[in-house]
Amino acid sequence: MNEPHYFDNQKVIASEINETMNNMTRSLTYKMELSSTSSHLSPVIDLSSASVKTVSNRIEHASGQENRYGRRDQIIEFYPVYSLELSTTTPGVTYQNNQSVKGKTSGASGTIAKIAGNNAWIKVKTKQSFTLGEQLEMTQFTNILNPPTITVGSSPSLVTPIINSSTQSAAGESITIVARNPVESKILNTYENKITGKSVIWNRTTRQLTLRTDIRPINDDYTGRIIDNVLFNRSNIEADQIADIFRVGDIISYPNQPDDEAFFLEVQRVSYSNGVDFVAEDTSKNSSSAAKYVTKEIYITNPATAIDVHLLANMKDISNVQVLYKYKRSSSQENFEDAEWFYFNESGEPDSLEIATADNSISSIVEKQSAYQDLKYSVAGLPEFSSFAIKVVMKGVDPAYVPKIQDIRAVAAF
């Protein structure tokens, strides 16, 4: 015959390691039935020249959190701390530190992190904050027959600690962040070399601290809170503490932090940055996606301020295709290759909500022309530009169902 044979639909062939892990002897079996109408003549197959050629689609749906992209830094957010004045008509009232407080009107609740006379710094643990004039409930007055009436005497003011604004020491090195012993009587003690990290950046606006932690977490659990597992409980004795990462509920310390602000920084939320080797799509070049189409620099005679793109595409999910643009301002001397990319509609998705046609979920190879959809992407109000480019990023979790783009039209307009 001496001719190739193609499968009618997509097949998945396992690698050697996947065959071993799934107890498969082979994932590809080619069965050939031989027949002849002549008793003295039978078909012969030369197996020495027979071969099977496989083709794979380079498609993935990377997020930057995969292990192959290397180290990921911890991003820690803290409960906000508000300073306010406590007002009461009862003389001689003193307030205890580290007690719970709740607002009767706002429903806000938190813990006193610092007290100085009638001035309090409250660590708020609810989305809403305290309001001026509302009455407060305090733990220390819970069992008193006639408790004093305590109200908020001044407008709460958000307090943001200065963790050495650039998080760099005088020598230019990152400062060390250490978790504190949560026991009130030992709050000034820290878990040195047990729960610690090097600061990367402190964002005072978002109250996010990015840390490099070179410690393997307990049970390899990177997201569990202290209250989620008894193994995550912090030891009363610092020397007995098991090395761990920072978790929700930890109270942290930083160099030269005032002792009376020891309760200020309690971890509210923990997330992780992308791996150090991951390059996002909106960077100028060498992004990490495996499947993408990038146009050349398109020059235009007259300056424009808007870009319209139409794609005729067939995909299983509309979000599997993201479209980006970049442009060079008129009379600019910048290198076009160094310009950053921008997502259409901030996410790279079409102008209007689109749902993939049903045909796209049935077969990855048998399709109709009617299954292709016209998707529009547009942006307006840009500075006048003299050239631009378009990038189409294709993603997917199944290499058998890859996005297919039949036509692309890009128009610059004024």
Compute the distance between CA of residue 177 and CA of residue 165 in angstroms, rounded to an integer. 14
21 Cβ neighbours under 8 A, 6+ residues apart: none
Compute the distance between CA of residue 251 and CA of residue 190 in angstroms, rounded to an integer. 9
Q: Give me the pLDDT at residue 314, please.
A: 87
Instruction: Please name the amino acid found at residue 21.
Output: M
Q: Give me the pLDDT at residue 360, please.
A: 64
Q: Give me the pLDDT at residue 21, please.
A: 79
292-413 has which fold?
Jelly Rolls (2.60.120)
**C-alpha dihedral, 136 to 142 to 148 to 150, nearest 10°:** -10
pLDDT in tens, 322-373: 999 999 999 888 899 999 999 999 999 999 988 887 766 655 556 778 888 8
Same CATH topology for 78-159 and 292-413: the answer is no
Q: What angle do CA 217, 223, 227 make, to 5 degrees?
A: 90
What's the order of all strands across the beta sheet hosting 306-314? 373-379, 306-314, 404-413
Sign of the alpha-carbon dihedral angle for 246, 248, 250, 256: positive
State both tokens at 129. 């904050």
Contact 320, 396 (CB under 8 A): yes
Strand ranges in 153-234 using DSSP code E only, listed in sequence order: 157-159, 176-179, 196-203, 208-212
Compute the distance between CA of residue 41 and CA of residue 37 in angstroms, rounded to an integer. 8
Instruction: Please name the amino acid found at residue 10.
Output: Q
Q: Give me the pLDDT at residue 399, please.
A: 75
- Mean model confidence pLDDT for the chain: 88
| Nearest by Cα to 113 from 86, 77, 82 | 82
The DSSP H or E segment spanning 20 is helix 16-21
Compute the distance between CA of residue 190 and CA of residue 23 in angstroms, rounded to an integer. 50
Strand ranges in 227-279 using DSSP code E only, listed in sequence order: 252-253, 267-272
Q: Give me the pLDDT at residue 2, please.
A: 67
Compute the distance between CA of residue 265 and CA of residue 211 in angstroms, rounded to an integer. 14
Residue ranges for the chain with pLDDT beneath 50: 165-172
Q: Give me the pLDDT at residue 362, please.
A: 58
Rg value, the chain, Cα: 31
| Nearest by Cα to 360 from 409, 313, 414 | 313
Q: What angle do CA 243, 245, 249 make, to 5 degrees?
A: 110
320 Cβ neighbours under 8 A, 6+ residues apart: 61, 394, 395, 396, 403
Contact 395, 59 (CB under 8 A): yes
| Nearest by Cα to 247 from 309, 298, 194, 287 | 194
Q: What are the structural domain ranges in the chain?
A: 78-159, 162-272, 292-413
Q: What proportions of the chain, in percent to the nearest 5, are helix, strand and coil?
A: 10, 30, 60
Query: Concatenated DSSP letters for 161-184?
Result: --S-TTTB-TTSPBPEEEEBP-SG
Entry pTM:
0.74
Contact 353, 297 (CB under 8 A): no
Please tell me the CATH code under which domain 78-159 is placed. 2.40.30
